[in-house]
Amino acid sequence: MLAAVRWRHRRTWRLWLPLAAAAGTAAVLTTYWVLSRRDLAPDAAPWTFWIWLSLTVALMFLVPAAWMGARWWRRITGVVAVGLTVVCVALAANQWAGFYPTAGRAWQGLTAQPLPGQISFATLPGLRGNPEPDGKIVPLRTSDSVSRFHHRTEYVYLPPAWFAGQVPPRLPAVVMIGGVVTTPEDWVRSGSALQTVRNYAATHHGQAPILVFVDPTGSLSNDTECVDGPHGNVDTHISKEVRPAVISGFGASARPDSWAVAGWSMGGTCAIDLTVEHPDLFRTFLDISGDVGPNLGNRAQTTSTLFGGRAADWDRFDPATVMRNHGPYAGVGGWFQSEGHRRSGPGLTSPQIRATQTLSAVARNNIDVVVRPVPGRHNWQFAGQAFTDALPWLMARIDAPN
């Protein structure tokens, strides 16, 4: 790009360079501020992300300087340079969030290829009684007649034990929820949940939970926090549409102590929220790096934006408030695992660890909890490892009634 700008004119660099530098700096500061307001841990971003973000915006301001009276090769160079910096921003962001750990998984996700082991619902009857050592993934038929929440295709993983015999056993189930920017496939492609549950089944005679990969947002730009509100009635969708569909469609156990909710980032907040709100439906949660509660800024901003100004919904969906108002729970348990880094003083620190400390202090009064602060970064690789760590504990709780 530098080669494309006509540097022989002093006016070019006197006018455009300061503008480009200011724009790049403003983009970095604005992005950092927005991420901080959303508790998305901008401090954890690699330095390359900020550099490439700044350069991308700066080069976009330099494009007019490159095009005015420039030869064709200068124009092509400018376009290519901007495109390459955008790619570098995407790569740095992926390094940060860990969406695609390999090029193969990136290709599968970006081209919307079927998930590993995915089959159609109509194929299932013909597989009954046949060994399926890896299990299968099946699209989940869920309506929106109750919630009116327009969701993308959701999926279930059926373990090897599901295929044994002519009638599906009453297996336990785990609802799997991703972060703010998510798709129902992310726990498979990015969080390695499929490999984790297959490994577990291989060492437990095919026994493993049904995994339910839900859509908590409906799109990549809709932060619902799994509540009912202007962004979508996701709480209702999961509790009154997804759960019944898994029970009726796949024969999962209907007992609340056979159901868990697991999530990372926003999904971690969803996990504890759904469980403490609906102990008649879910008795176990896995909160991986979640917030202290549904969060779109401070309390006033969250009430206005997330709840449509309905102040009473704060008490309905804030997990600490829900737990205090509910009183003692029976048979409810939770696992908190959050990443942190070391600063001065003992222990680890991060916004997620502080959220865990707050919620676990309330939960300990009436819920069995496990708290695990672990060194790491706020990305999908951390989420996948946390699910691997917690799965034996999860199964000990949700499989016991069966």
Q: Phi/psi at 175 (nearest 5 deg)?
A: -80, 125
* 105 — pLDDT class (breaks 50, 70, 90): low
pLDDT for 106 equals 66
In a domain, 245, yes or no: yes
In a domain, 109, yes or no: no
- Please indicate, yes or no, whether residues 80 and 142 belong to a single structural domain of this protein: no
Number of domains in the chain: 2
In a domain, 269, yes or no: yes
* 204 — pLDDT class (breaks 50, 70, 90): very high
* 9 — pLDDT class (breaks 50, 70, 90): low
In a domain, 111, yes or no: no
- Please indicate, yes or no, whether residues 224 and 290 belong to a single structural domain of this protein: yes
| pLDDT > 70 in the chain, percent | 87
In a domain, 285, yes or no: yes
Write the DSSP assignment of 36-63 as a string of letters. Answer: HHTT--GGGS-HHHHHHHHHHHHHHHHH
Of 244, 114, 232, 246, the closest CA to residue 180 belongs to: 232
In a domain, 108, yes or no: no
- Please indicate, yes or no, whether residues 51 and 170 belong to a single structural domain of this protein: no
* 402 — pLDDT class (breaks 50, 70, 90): low
- Please indicate, yes or no, whether residues 67 and 136 belong to a single structural domain of this protein: no
- Please indicate, yes or no, whether residues 184 and 88 belong to a single structural domain of this protein: no
- Please indicate, yes or no, whether residues 299 and 379 belong to a single structural domain of this protein: yes
In a domain, 200, yes or no: yes
Q: Token digits for 166? A: 């002519």
* 345 — pLDDT class (breaks 50, 70, 90): low
Tell me what the mean pLDDT of segment 264-286 comes to.
98
pLDDT for 312 equals 94
pLDDT for 121 equals 94
Average pLDDT of the residues of the chain? 88
The CATH number given to whatever domain includes residue 197 is 3.40.50.1820
pLDDT for 259 equals 99
Q: pLDDT tens for residues 382-395?
A: 999 999 999 999 99
pLDDT higher than threshold 90 for residue 254:
yes
| pLDDT > 90 in the chain, percent | 60
In a domain, 87, yes or no: yes
Helices and strands per DSSP (H, E), number in the chain:
14, 11
In the block, tokens 């549409």 appear at 241
**Residue that terminates a domain, selected from 69, 97, 125:** 97
Q: How many CB atoms lie within 10 A of CB 47?
A: 8
pLDDT for 17 equals 77
- Please indicate, yes or no, whether residues 93 and 121 belong to a single structural domain of this protein: no
- Please indicate, yes or no, whether residues 244 and 303 belong to a single structural domain of this protein: yes
Of 329, 342, 400, 399, the closest CA to residue 369 belongs to: 329
* Residue 274: domain span: 117-398
pLDDT higher than threshold 60 for residue 4:
no
- Please indicate, yes or no, whether residues 204 and 312 belong to a single structural domain of this protein: yes
- Please indicate, yes or no, whether residues 121 and 180 belong to a single structural domain of this protein: yes
pLDDT higher than threshold 60 for residue 349:
yes
pLDDT for 400 equals 64
pLDDT for 6 equals 52
Q: pLDDT tens for residues 137-192?
A: 999 989 899 999 999 999 999 999 999 988 889 999 999 999 988 999 999 999 99
- Please indicate, yes or no, whether residues 29 and 163 belong to a single structural domain of this protein: no
pLDDT higher than threshold 60 for residue 207:
yes
Measured between alpha carbons, how far is 344 from 96 in angstroms, rounded to an integer? 24
More confident residue, 98 or 209: 209
pLDDT higher than threshold 70 for residue 41:
no
